[in-house]
Structure 1
Amino acid sequence: MNNTILLVVDVQTALIEEHPYNEQNVIDNIKRLITVARYNEKEVIYVRHDDGKGEELEYGTDGWQIYYEIKPNNNEKVFEKQYNSAFLKTGLKEYLDSKKIDTIILTGLQTEYCIDTTCKAAFEHGYKLIIPEETNTTFDNEYLDGQKLYNFYNYKIWNNRFAKVLSLDETIKVLMCK
């Protein structure tokens, strides 16, 4: 499993400050995965969304910054995006291919937007995907609350179709493989 990376998508200050579903568990679990990945020399790659001028996630603003509890080290890659997909016009696929990456451990925000789109794009590009439990989240909307959205996407849409949804402990074992 040397060809595995941890991908952290859109865990940005403005979004976390709006308190998504299961917020603290998600942050704590992502932090744990980052620590294990770094210790086991697995690359941690970040993706950050820019919504444009005047928006909550405007490039360069405090809200646009990667949340301080999981911020990247100086040597870790950050890809900037303007679409729901972490792959569209970011150079991420080319970078992963240059490193011969075949497995992505996907975490971040928001479950039904950027995580869903990134999951399906990665699947279409031929990557194996692991989505650790309680490492993606979203907000209540007028149709479903954040917990129902999380459960629906993780267990009805993604698991055994586009990805393997694994426990945190199972994912850590994957990160520890050399």
Structure 2
Amino acid sequence: MPRTALFVIDIQNELAGHPQTEVPGAARIRTAGSQILRISRALADAAAATPPEEQQNPALTVFVQHEESPESGGTLLRGAEPWKLVFPPREDAVDEILVAKTTQNTFESNPDFADRLQNAGVDHIIAFGLQSECCVAETCKGALAAGFRLTILQGAHSTYDEKQKTAADIERQIEEMLVSRGAEVVPWENAVSRWETAGVVC
């Protein structure tokens, strides 16, 4: 049975947990992320309590965490407070995994990861997180290049304002670019409503 992977991309303290450094839309991202994970985890827990012959294939939740080297001058150093995840995976959850990356594209940093997902039955990736034009866009392009069906959750990804563009402008541009490559864009509220109706993240 086909399986979905829910990618939670780089929702780390520097970007969404510290008022001095977080993106302007951080509160929105925290709210969306909290609701998305509440529903996805409730569905996973319900599936685990269902007899195997009646189970739908539960989603795999992938928590992506960017890290930088001391030499880079960046602050996302392994173990440092800015590097830590706002939404960490549950330690006892077999369907939640943590994936580290050092480039914007999760698949580039982890060359065997696409094969691992496909071997686990995953054919569809749903993505949200930070930053829209950087790690979200590049990981989504990597997913499409690897042959996955892709959905990006509108309203659940964001970035910093630029001189000539607001974060909202950038969000829209990234969504349009991904749609042009074959992705689907769905408001996150609509997506979680669909999951609740279906009984599975899909």
**TM-score (structure 2 length as normaliser):** 0.79
For structure 2, the residue ranges without an aligned partner over 5 or more in a row are: 45-58
Letter in 2 for 1:104: I
Match of 1:82 among 92, 102, 108: 102
Cα pair 2:2 2:123 within 8 Å, conserved:
no
Confirm or deny: 8 A CA contact 2:132 2:170 kept in the other structure: yes
Shift of 1:51: 1.5
Residue 5 (structure 1) aligned with residue 5 (structure 2): yes
Q: How does 1:1-178 map to 2 (within 5 A)?
A: 3-16=3-16, 17=18, 18-41=21-44, 42-53=59-70, 54-67=73-86, 70-74=87-91, 75=93, 76-90=96-110, 91-154=112-175, 156-159=176-179, 161-176=181-196, 177=198, 178=200
8 Å CA contact 1:46, 1:72 repeated in 2: yes
In structure 2, do the counterparts of structure 1 residues 26 and 3 end up closer, same or farther at CA, with 3 Å as the change threshold? same
SS at 1:126 equivalent: coil
Residues 43 and 175 of structure 1: is their aligned pair in 2 closer, same or farther, counting only changes over 3 Å?
A: farther
Which structure shows the bigger proportion of residues in helix conformation?
Answer: 2
Contact 1:120 1:162 in 2 (8 A): no
Question: Which has the greater radius of gyration?
Answer: 2
Deviations 1:124-172 (A, max 9, x none): 1111111111111100123322121112212x21235331111223311
- Distance of 2:121 and 2:2 partners within structure 1: 9
1:22-49 superposed Cα distances (whole Å, 9 cap, x missing partner): 2212211111111111112222110100
Q: Report if the CA contact (8 A) 2:129-2:136 is conserved.
A: yes
Amino acid at match of 1:112: E
Runs of 5+ unmatched residues, structure 1: none
Q: CA RMSD in A?
A: 1.8
The residue type equivalent to 1:10 in the other structure is D
The normalised TM-score by structure 1 is: 0.89
